Chains A and B, each alone.
Chain A
Amino acid sequence: MLVQALQALATGLLTGSVYALLGAGFSLIWGVAHVINIAHPALAVGAAYAVYALATRGVDPLASLATVVPLFFLLGVGFHEGVIRPAARRAGDLVLVSMVLTFGLAAALENALAAIWGPGPRVVNVAYTGQAIRLGVLALPVPHVAGAGLAAVTITALYLFLHRTFPGKAVRAVWQNRDGAALCAINLRQVTSLTYGLAVASAGVAGVALALIYSFSPATHLTWLVFVFLVVIVGGVGSLVGAVVAGMVVGAVTNLATLVIPFAWAPFLLFASLGILLLWRPTGLFRR
């Protein structure tokens, strides 16, 4: 029993890193641009399908990163320039408008994916699927480790970027105080575009990790949306570190919970816990 729990904990921490990555990207956009990007997990699912498409042609998921990352970065920048900026000019309440807007886009994307690949689940099989790394009594599935490693590398890269580079610090400045940053001659438009590019690119990476670990279908983005909100609410909208910790916690807890609770009830419990969290602490459990 203890071994099972440890196993669940370990796997949970691995998957939790992917949750953390998704949450971090989502948080970035919310914090810097005041946009709630409901389509964030949908973009990750889109990336997962791209990985699948490439995998059926023999391309390893990790190799497909070379295409996914730049493509999604450009997509993010394009989205900001082409969609968000015009919307922000007209909208009174950008937060709500962005929710509805990205909601619509997520729905469109979901149905587009369903139109191309059908509504059923897809799985990406790689050379190392089914293999596991032995760590004492634990067996860590290699795809999980790969996905978690990917997420960890990306989060670290993000962290270093935000804290060690000048553009990154500009992003943090805007994150903390938009008007103040503008007064310091920070180009808000450029910073926001950059942030979007990074965030969507991170969603792409999360999608690659997701493809390694889970099966997915067009509707998967909804479940992932709940995870994203859990991470962001627990970790706070302003904190990268918070997202990481929250992601780990969410991953660990959900995995441990599946030991005790029948699988069928898992989605409901997830929703219930998110609902309760939102009601208890709508602004997040972590202070920045």
Chain B
Amino acid sequence: MSRAAAAGLVAVLVVLPWAGAGEYPLALLYSTFMYATLAVAWNIIGGFAGYLSFGHAAFFGLGGYATGFLLVHAGLSPFLTAPVGGVVAAVFAALAGYPCLRLRGPYFAVVTMILGLAVRAVVLNLPWAGAAEGLWMTLPPWEPLAARRAFYYAMLGIALVTALAGRAVRLGKMGVGLEAIREDEDAAQSIGVPAVRLKMSALILSAGLTGLAGGIYAYDRSYIHPDFMFDLHLSVLAVLMALLGGRQSWAGPILGAVVVRLVDELLTVRVGTEAARIIFGLGLALVIVLLPDGLLPHLMRLRRRAPRPPAAVPAAVVRP
């Protein structure tokens, strides 16, 4: 996709609410933006660095609880405090992530999954965070359409920031380093890659962006509870979207998010939530087996009819 096409798409998305889009399409796009954020952010540590986190819901939920706490106890709107949610998630990632990143491969996956479950268990017992009753985050008395528009723009902004961050990482020095770590961490260190530092940076960035999304989502939801703010299903979804779309690019996860969101919408309407989750579980299993590289590389191969001369590879601007 060229720079012009991408800019055009963004322009359309920005204008959409004023062009008369109703509540339903705005809500659908809003959730798609959120999924895209989750997927792109996850991919920074999961796809580029190859450290598959199964606990990203922890960061998401922490962002939501941070804005929730600030709303309930300080009266501050999450539209202002969402960045704080991101920071809280990032700080948590820095503290909890450091020991986790010392593990590799399956052990890292397992320990992050446990981390996600542990955070849920802890928050369930914290009275000042609502414990098992949850937290109410009542919206001001806005008109439904106006509220939809506000959330739409907030999440669009977050998604754009995340996409730009993902792109910057992937195309820049950090991306090369993370990929070297993914391919062979020891060999990477032997050429000067500061593996621990890079992994930590990737995880912190990933967590912060995820927490940002959680901060806004919580407000939209208006009621938060550890069971769905730290839901393992969400962690799994992040993995699925990135794997489905294509782990090696920054834009692949966006494609994965769009597909997942659409399928989810179709399924929930037709078949109900539980059946949708069953299908997602099976879908994850299928995707990892059949499409280990994801969709995007397949699509890219279809588009390239003529083989390019190997030496002439300009750094295309919106190259995934």
- Asked if the two chains touch in their complex, CB atoms less than 8 Å apart, one says yes
B105 lies within 8 A of A108 (CB): no
Contact with B along A97-109 (1 / 0, CB 8 A): 1011111111111
Partner among B115, B121, B283, B290 whose Cβ is within 8 Å of the Cβ of A104? B283
Q: Which of A96, A100, A226, A272 has the most CB of B within 10 A?
A: A100
A97 lies within 8 A of B289 (CB): yes
Asked if B114 is at the interface (CB within 8 A of a chain A CB), the reply is yes
Q: How far is the CA of A83 from the CA of B240 in the complex (A)?
A: 18
Given A111-B274, A278-B107, A104-B236 contact (CB < 8 Å): yes
**Which residues between 262 and 300 of chain B lie within 8 Å of chain A, taking CB atoms?**
274-275, 277-286, 288-290, 292
A275 lies within 8 A of B289 (CB): no
Q: How far is the CA of A196 from the CA of B266 in the complex (A)?
A: 36
List, in ascending order, chain B residues with CB within 8 A of A275's CB.
99, 111, 114-115, 118
| Chain B residue at minimal CB-CB distance from A105 | B285
Asked if B176 is at the interface (CB within 8 A of a chain A CB), the reply is no
Given A265-B125, A271-B118, A279-B103, A96-B109 contact (CB < 8 Å): yes
Asked if B203 is at the interface (CB within 8 A of a chain A CB), the reply is no
Q: How many residues of B contact A (CB 8 A)?
A: 42
B interface majority secondary structure: helix
List, in ascending order, chain A residues with CB within 8 A of B124's CB.
264
Chain B residues near A (Cβ < 8 Å): 52, 54, 99-100, 102-103, 105-107, 109-111, 114-115, 117-118, 121-122, 124-125, 232-233, 236, 239-240, 243, 274-275, 277-286, 288-290, 292
11 contacts between A and B (CB under 8 A): A36-B106, A95-B105, A101-B288, A103-B239, A104-B236, A104-B283, A104-B284, A106-B281, A107-B278, A108-B282, A274-B111
Q: A265-B125, A275-B115 are in contact. List 9 more A-B contacts (CB 8 A).
A: A36-B110, A90-B290, A103-B236, A105-B282, A115-B274, A115-B275, A226-B114, A271-B114, A272-B118
Chain A residues near B (Cβ < 8 Å): 36, 83, 86-87, 90-93, 95-97, 99-112, 114-115, 222, 226, 229, 264-265, 267-268, 271-272, 274-275, 278-279, 282
